[in-house]
Amino acid sequence: MRDYLNCHETDAKAYSELKQSLAERFHNDRETYIAKKSDFINDLLSKAKVWGELADRTM
């Protein structure tokens, strides 16, 4: 996912903003913080997997 985010600035920015917002709202509730970002992370992981597979095919 790191490599994907390094190459996809819009998704990286959205992830950063989400983490910041959730950290401010749930600074005393780590479980909720993690739960609230899990759908976004799963979406990013799916995108990263497809992107990685495409990158492997072009090498």
Q: What percent of the chain has pLDDT over 90?
A: 88
Contact 39/15 with Cβ under 8 angstroms?
Answer: no
Contact 48/3 with Cβ under 8 angstroms?
Answer: yes
Average pLDDT across the chain, whole number: 94
Full-prediction pTM beyond 0.95? no
